[in-house]
Amino acid sequence: MENVPMPNLQIVINKMQVNIRELSASNENPDGILYRAEPRDFYDVLNYKFNEPLTFTSNILMNDINWQEYNPPAEILSGIEGFNGSRLGIPQLSTLITRSLDEAVSRKRLGLLEAVSQSNKKTSISTPSKNSQASSSSNVTAAGPSRPKLQIIARDKDTSSIEEKQPSRVNSQLSKETSTTSDSGYISGAERYHSESISSLPRQGYSKLAPLSRFIKMLKKRQHKGKSVVAEPIRECVSCLDDFPVSDMVHVQCHDYCKDCFERLVITAMETESMWPVKCCLNDIPHKTIVKNIKPNLAKEFQLKVYEREIAAGDRIYCIKPRCERWIHNNWIDKGRKCASCPSCETKVCITCRGSWHANMECPQDKDLQATVNLADDRGWKQCYNCKVFIELNKGCRHMKCHCKAEWCYVCSAQWKTCGCTELELTELMQNLQLRQEAAALETQLQERRTRQEEKRIRKAAEEERIAIQMVEDFERREAEELGREAERDFQLEEAIRRRREDKRVAKIASNFIKIREDLNVLHRSQKSRLATRSQEEFQMLQDRENGFYKLQKRHLSQYDQLEREYKTEYSKQELQLQNEYDQLREEEIRAVKENTEKFEAFWKDRPYAAYHIQAAKDSHEKFFIAAFRSWDLDRDIALKECTKNFESKSLSLGRYQGLEDAEFKQRMRDEWREWARNKVAEVRWFDAVIAERENMLQTLENEQYTMATAESERGRAF
C-alpha cells in the first residue's frame, strides 16, 4: 500500500520554522506515532534568523482553534514605555498602545454577542425588541466562553453597554425555567418531592405574559417619570423593572432586587437544580444574604435544600413511599447493611437499587457482587459449594480443600469423590480458559480498530463539509470585496477634490502619521522578536522532554535483562537442588541394596531354593526404588516447568507494562507538541488582532486630525 502524504502544520516565526506533523495510523502502528532517533517526527531543526515578519501557515485542521480562549502573549505590551507622540503634537497617542489590547478584547466579546443574538432571534417568541435583545445578550454573557486568566478590563462604550444589558438575564431565566418540564412528561419521585415541598411556599402570580406586562408598565411609568417628585431615593429592580425605595431592596454583589422578585429567584433555584446555587450574573449570592431577606418558612426549606444539594444527584437517596418521597439524610443511612431509613415514615430503602430493602439477602442489582461474578467467570475461578467463596487454582491438582473444611472437585465444583472428573479434564479446562481470555483480548483490539476507522471517516466527512462551506464563504467575500472596491473608488474621487484645497495642511498630518507608523512597526518587530525568542526556548524544552523517551527505552531494556538474570539464577538453583536430591536417593539405594542382600543371604542360608528367594526379594526391592526415581523425575520436570512458566508470565506482564508506559509517554508528548503548536497559533492570531486594532485606532486618530484640519479650513473660508 502506498504511503499517504502526511499533512503538516507549519509555524513560521521570523524564519524560525517548526513543522508539526499529524501522522496517519497504519497496521504496524495503530496510534500513528513513530519514534526514531533521526529524523524526528514532531519537529525539524530551527534556524535562528529574526529579520522577517511574523506569519502563520497551516494546511491541516487547525482552523478550529478558539484562539480567543488563550491568554494574549505578554510581548504585546513589551517595550511600550519608549513610544511617545508628544513630540509630534499628538499627546493622546501614548494611550493608543495600551488601549489597543483592551479594544481587541471588547471587539471580540461584542462580535460574539452579535453572532449569538442573530441566531436567537430566529427561535425566540414575538416580544418587544428591547426585551428580546436584552435577554439574548444576557444569555450570551452567561453562557459564552470565559477566560479566567485574562486580567484585562475593557473601558470603551461597547463594554459598558453590554454590562447594562446583563440584568435582564435573571428575568429571562425565571420566565423560561419556571415553565419547563421534562420531554417525556414523567416526573421522578425526587422531582415530585421538590415541587410538593416548595408548592406550599408563598409566591406571586407568574406567567409567560408577565415580562410583557411589566415591560408595558415600565414604559408608561417612564413617560411620567420626569413629572414625578420622589421623596426618598429609589432604585429599579433588575427583575421586574419597577422602582422601590432603597430600604425595601435586596442588595447583592452586582444588582438590586425587590423582596418578591428575590424570593422568586430563590424558589426557582430551589426547584431547578441547574440554576443552583442562587446566582446573579454568574456570581453566587451568599447564604447569609438569602436567609436574611426571605421569609422564615422559606429560609428553613432553603437550609434543608442546601444540605441536599451538597450531595451529588446520583448519590442522593429518597423515600420510596408515594406520599412521602422525602430526601433521606446521611445520618439515617446504614452503609454496612446497605439500608436507609426514612425519618418521616420509617420506610427502609436499599441504597444500592433505591427500592425496598432486602432484609437478609444480597441486592440483585449490587454492582460489586455482579462485578465479582463477572470477574470470576473471566478468570476461571470456582465457587465453593458450601460457603460460596471464590477460589482460584494457580497450580496443583483438582482436589480443593476450602477454609470451611469442604472438599470438592475444581472441574465440576461437586463434592470430592462424587464425580468422575480427571486431571486431563482439568488441563483442558485451564487451556480453554486461556483461549477464552486471548479471544476476548483479540475482540477488544478489533473493536478499537473499528472505532478508529469510524473516527477517521467522520473526520474526512467533516473536512469535505468545511471545504464546501469555505468555498461559499470565499465567493461571498469576493463579492463583498468587489463592492468595497467600488465604494473605495467613489470615495477616493470625492476625497481628491477636497484634498486639492487643503494639501498643505494634510501633508504635515500625513508626514506625522508616517513617522508614527514607522515607530509602531519598529515596536512590532521588537515584540515579535521577543515572541520568537521565547518560542525557541519553549521548543528546546519540549525537545529535551522528548529525549526522555530514549532513556525510558534503556530503562525498559535493563529491567528485562534483570528479570532474565533472575530467571537463570533461579533455574540453576533448582537444578542443583534436584541433583542433590538425586544423589542422596542414589546413595540410599546402594546402601539399602547392600544391607538387604546381606540380610536375605543370612536368612535363606542352607534352605532349599535359597538363590531363587534371594533374587525375588532383590527384584521387589529394585522395583520400589525404580518407582521412587520415576516420582523424583516427574517432580523435577514439574518444578522446572513451573519456574519457566513464572518467568514467561513475569516477562509478559513486564512487556505489557512497558508497552503501556511507552504509549502513554508518546501520547503525552504528542499532546504537548500539538498544544504548543495550537498555543503558537493563538499567539500569532492575538498579534494579528492587536496590530489590526492598533492600526484601526491610529487610522481613527488620523481621520480626526484630517477632520479638524478641514473644519479649520472651512471656518477660515467662511470668514
CA–CA distance, 588 with 628 (Å, rounded to integer): 11
Identify which has the larger pLDDT, 195 or 666: 666
Kindly report which listed range (212-221, 480-489, 491-500) carries the lowest average pLDDT score. Answer: 212-221
Of the ranges 203-212, 368-377, 579-588, the best mean pLDDT one: 579-588
Cell 518560542, located at residue: 535
Minimal CA–CA distance to 154: which of 91, 98, 73?
98
Confidence of residue 499 (pLDDT cuts 50, 70, 90): low
Annotated domain spans of the chain: 1-120+506-719, 135-143+163-176+194-219+232-317, 367-442
181: left (phi over 0), alpha (psi -120 to 50) or beta: beta
Q: What's the CA gap between 495 and 498, in Å, rounded?
A: 5
| Amino acid letter for position 523 | L
Q: What band does 95 get if pLDDT is binned at 50, 70 and 90? A: low
125-139, 293-307, 463-477, 542-556: least confident range: 125-139
Phi, psi of 284 (to 5 degrees): -70, 135
The answer to whether the CB of 107 falls within 8 A of the CB of 701 is no
Helix/strand/coil for 280: strand
- How far apart (Å, rounded) are the C-alpha atoms in residues 162 and 274? 24
| pLDDT at residue 606, as a whole number | 67
Nearest to 117 by CA among 100, 134, 105, 93: 134
Partners of 340 in the β-ladder: 333, 349
**Helix H or strand E segment including 587:** helix 548-603
Comparison of pLDDT for 140 and 563, the residue scoring more: 563
Long-range interactions of 612-621: CB distance < 8 A, separation 24+: 618/593, 621/592, 621/593, 621/596
Q: Which residues pair with 339 in a beta bridge?
A: 334, 350
Q: Which residue has the higher pLDDT, 262 or 110?
A: 262
Give the Cα separation of 102 and 690 in Å (integer).
9
Binning pLDDT at 50, 70 and 90, where does residue 105 land?
Answer: low
Instruction: Look over the chain and give the mean of its residue pLDDT values, rounded to a whole number.
Output: 69
Q: Please compute the mean of the pLDDT values over residues 427-432 and round it to a whole number.
A: 82
Q: What angle do CA 647, 652, 653 make, to 5 degrees?
A: 100
Convert the pLDDT of each residue in 326-378 to its tens digit: 778 777 777 777 788 888 887 888 877 777 777 766 776 666 667 777 777 77
- Which sign, positive or negative, has the C-alpha torsion 712, 716, 717, 719? positive
| Residue 3 grid cell | 504511503
Percent pLDDT > 90 in the chain is 2
Predicted pLDDT at 76: 78
Question: Given this model, what pLDDT does residue 598 score?
Answer: 73
Pairwise CA distance, residues 519 & 698, whole Å: 12
Instruction: Specify the pairing of strand 54-58 against strand 256-258.
Output: unpaired
- Model's pTM, two decimal places? 0.35
Q: Give the cell for residue 618.
A: 532383590
Q: How far apart are CA 651 and CA 643, in angstroms?
A: 12
- Gap between the Cα atoms of 652 and 646, Å rounded: 10
Selected residue with higher pLDDT from 718 and 582 = 582
Q: Is the pLDDT of residue 223 over 70?
A: no
pLDDT digits over 4-29, tens only?
333 333 444 333 333 333 333 333 33
Q: Show the cell assigned to 203.
A: 409566591
Q: Point out the least confidently predicted range of 224-233, 295-304, 363-372.
A: 224-233
Q: Which helix (H) or strand (E) holds 423?
A: helix 423-499
Q: Name every residue whose Cβ is closer than 8 Å to that of residue 75 and which is 6 or more positions away in sequence.
A: 527, 528, 530, 531, 534
C-alpha span between 197 and 191 (Å, rounded):
10
C-alpha cell at 96: 493608543
**372-390: average pLDDT:** 76
Instruction: Over range 188-205, report the average pLDDT.
Output: 40
Residue with C-alpha cell 483480548?
441
Instruction: Calculate what percentage of the chain has a pLDDT beyond 70.
Output: 65
Instruction: Give the pLDDT score at 261.
Output: 92
**What pLDDT, in 10s, does the model give residues 531-540?**
877 877 887 7
pLDDT at 480 over 60: yes
pLDDT at 186 over 60: no
- For the chain, the distance separating the N- and C-terminal CA atoms, rounded to the nearest angstrom, is 86
pLDDT at 498: 63
For residues 296 and 631, give the distance between their C-alpha atoms in angstroms, rounded to a whole number: 88
| Least confident span in 62-66, 165-169, 505-509 | 165-169
Residue with cell 476461571: 380
